[in-house]
Structure 1
Amino acid sequence: MADPSAHGNARAQIRPHDAIAEFTRLLWLLRHILAMLLALFFLLSIAMYYLGGTVGATSRAPSSIGETFYFCAVTALTIGYGDVVPTSALGRIIAVLLGLLGVLLTGVVTACAVYSIQFAAQRAGLLHRQTRTADSDP
């Protein structure tokens, strides 16, 4: 195991404020992309309500707008309880698109979180940025 003092101060700690501030800054920089993804989520949710034929799995009754948004959120988060299901082919296609959208949105937010923690660690002296030169091996 590597010596913790080899990369800087052994007592250095990541400051949560640095990570949170960087995370907020990144989300702000990506606000247009995130807004577009959220708008697409709402458009797909509305399409699911009118075209997807979502029904309660046990009652087989048509879903309300609230139940449809719940289904769309559960699908986008890739949880998938199965208590509300689409019954039409178009509804199943919309569900797949919602799942892909959710994975994309989750990936963007996760990447921002990881970068923010790396930024805070670098600022604390726990992580050094490596630069590649033309002579270095890939």
Structure 2
Amino acid sequence: MENARDDGTGRLRASEILKEMAMTLWYLRAILIGLLLLFVLLTFGMYYWGAPVETANRTPSSISETVYFCAITALTIGYGDVVPTSTFGRIDAVCLGLIGLVFTGLFVAAAVRGVQEAAQRTEPGV
């Protein structure tokens, strides 16, 4: 009934994976902070020059709705309840989407590296 076999390899622990991931993110902190600052600048640019409007009643969006729109765009979800109406706003939205892709890619890469480093440490003879 015992399905596990003892082949001498250790088990990966979540704490080790998270520690390695955090170390990787720490090394990438300058890039991540730069992306975050760029997100903030693009969000303010969207609010002042992007002319975002709600699609339900075609009224200009408040700052909180603009931040919501920018976050949804950066996460590449895009519900469509708030849309930019100027050319600058559309270009801004594309830039926000690209920033979100890079940000997400860095987090996924850090997670993969965390798993790899933790697995390497648990191998026998290391």
1:119 Cα shift?
0.9
Q: Which residue of 2 aligns with 1:132?
A: none
Q: For 1:84 and 1:33, how far apart are their aligned partners in 2?
A: 29
Unpaired stretches in structure 2, ≥5 consecutive residues: none
Match of 1:108 among 106, 114, 119: 106
Q: Is the 8 A contact 1:54 1:91 kept in 2?
A: yes
Q: TM-score, normalised by structure 1?
A: 0.83
Runs of 4+ displaced beyond 4 Å: none
1:15 Cα shift?
1.3
1:9 Cα shift?
2.0
Unpaired stretches in structure 1, ≥5 consecutive residues: 129-138
Q: Which residue of 2 aligns with 1:49?
A: 47
Q: For 1:54 and 1:40, how far apart are their aligned partners in 2?
A: 18
Q: Which residue of 2 aligns with 1:77?
A: 75
1:29 Cα shift?
1.1
SS at match of 1:82: coil
Question: What aligned pairs does 1:1-138 form with structure 2 within 5 A after superposition?
Answer: 9-10=8-9, 12-125=10-123
Q: Is the 8 A contact 1:15 1:124 kept in 2?
A: no
Percent identity between matched residues is 52
Q: TM-score, normalised by structure 2?
A: 0.90
For 1:49-70, what per-residue CA distance to the aligned partner results, in whole angstroms no more than 9, with x for missing partners?
0000000011111000000000
Amino acid at match of 1:21: K
| C-alpha RMSD over aligned residues | 1.7
For 1:101-127, what per-residue CA distance to the aligned partner results, in whole angstroms no more than 9, with x for missing partners?
10011111110011101111111118x
Q: For 1:59 and 1:110, how far apart are their aligned partners in 2?
A: 38
SS at match of 1:55: strand
Number of aligned residues:
121
Amino acid at match of 2:74: A
Q: Is the 8 A contact 1:57 1:83 kept in 2?
A: yes
